[in-house]
């Protein structure tokens, strides 16, 4: 088996395992539904910090390195981040979905049931994460891919809990809430396959692709996760969660290196 085949299979496996961590995060709903908003906001803040570190060290920094560390390279990275963010913004704007915690409905008007709006929201959220994992592996840099997959897996745990709790509080059966949380994570391998394919086919523009994935991730962090941790009066706890998540992921990234 060639290195490319090994990397492809490893990328799919890593993105799948990372996605399955949403199911692990949802397990506590079988034992209790009384998880405080303070705890949930802090955990989601931690998830945002982990994602931010993975984006910075495993996507943006390699993008700058592959572009030669020049001013021109920095502009390519900046353009990729901007285009990735705009892509997610437009997808978010025109896709009907409902925010998990504050129940705001966005996107085109629709008669879809709320559970499908939840699923669309998590799909929008998880796809760029899988894309980032795939891009990390797609340049044959297994260390980068593993680092991103680890970060995504860690942040998927509180996310899976948030999804399951939101559904249970909307009077959905516990088993159905768990299954939805688990299945939404399986969007990530699809993004992973696309990410690996993009890098394999368009390797000459690798810095741009890495930055594009970073921009998509940054949009999710800034537009979705952090704002939803600031709705219940626990902004300070959530902020410390972001910092702790960032520091832990930074240490893990250096350890993997």
User: What pLDDT sits at residue 60?
Assistant: 92
User: Interior CA angle at 184 toward 180 and 190, to 5°?
Assistant: 150
Which residue pairs from 173-180 have beta carbons closer than 8 angstroms and sit at least 24 positions apart in sequence? 174/29, 174/30, 177/26, 177/29, 178/23, 178/26, 178/27, 178/29, 178/30, 180/115, 180/118, 180/119
User: What pLDDT sits at residue 248?
Assistant: 92
Q: Average pLDDT of the chain?
A: 82
Per-residue confidence band for 105, with pLDDT thresholds at 50, 70 and 90: low
9-17 mean pLDDT? 84
Q: What's this model's pTM, rounded to 2 decimal places? A: 0.81
Residue boundaries of the structural domains of the chain: 7-30+37-96+111-256
Q: Which of 245, 174, 191, 225 is nearest to 26 (CA)?
A: 174
Whether residue 76 has pLDDT greater than 60:
yes
């Amino acid at each position: 088996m060639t290195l490319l085949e090994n990397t492809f299979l490893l990328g799919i496996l890593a993105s799948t395992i990372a996605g399955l961590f949403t199911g692990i995060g949802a397990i506590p709903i079988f034992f209790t539904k009384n998880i405080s908003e303070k705890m949930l906001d802090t955990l989601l803040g931690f998830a945002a910090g982990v994602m931010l570190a993975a984006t910075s060290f495993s996507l943006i920094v390699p993008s700058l390195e592959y572009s030669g560390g020049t001013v021109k390279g920095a502009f390519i990275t900046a353009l990729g981040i901007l285009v990735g963010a705009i892509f997610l913004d437009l997808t978010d704007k025109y896709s009907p979905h409902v925010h998990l915690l504050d129940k705001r409905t966005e996107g085109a008007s629709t008669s879809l049931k709320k559970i499908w709006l939840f699923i669309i929201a998590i799909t929008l959220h998880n796809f760029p994460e899988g894309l980032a994992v795939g891009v990390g592996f797609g340049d044959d840099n297994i260390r980068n891919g593993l680092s991103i997959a680890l970060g995504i897996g860690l942040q998927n745990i509180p996310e899976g809990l948030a999804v399951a709790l939101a559904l249970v509080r909307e009077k959905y059966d516990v088993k159905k809430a768990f299954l939805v949380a688990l299945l939404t994570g399986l969007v990530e391998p699809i993004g992973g396959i696309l990410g690996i394919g993009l890098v394999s086919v368009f390797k000459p523009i690798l810095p741009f692709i890495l930055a594009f994935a970073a921009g998509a991730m940054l949009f999710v962090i800034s537009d979705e996760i952090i704002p939803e941790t600031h709705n219940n009066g626990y902004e300070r706890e959530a902020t410390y969660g972001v910092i702790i998540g960032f520091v832990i992921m930074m240490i893990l990234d250096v350890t993997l290196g």
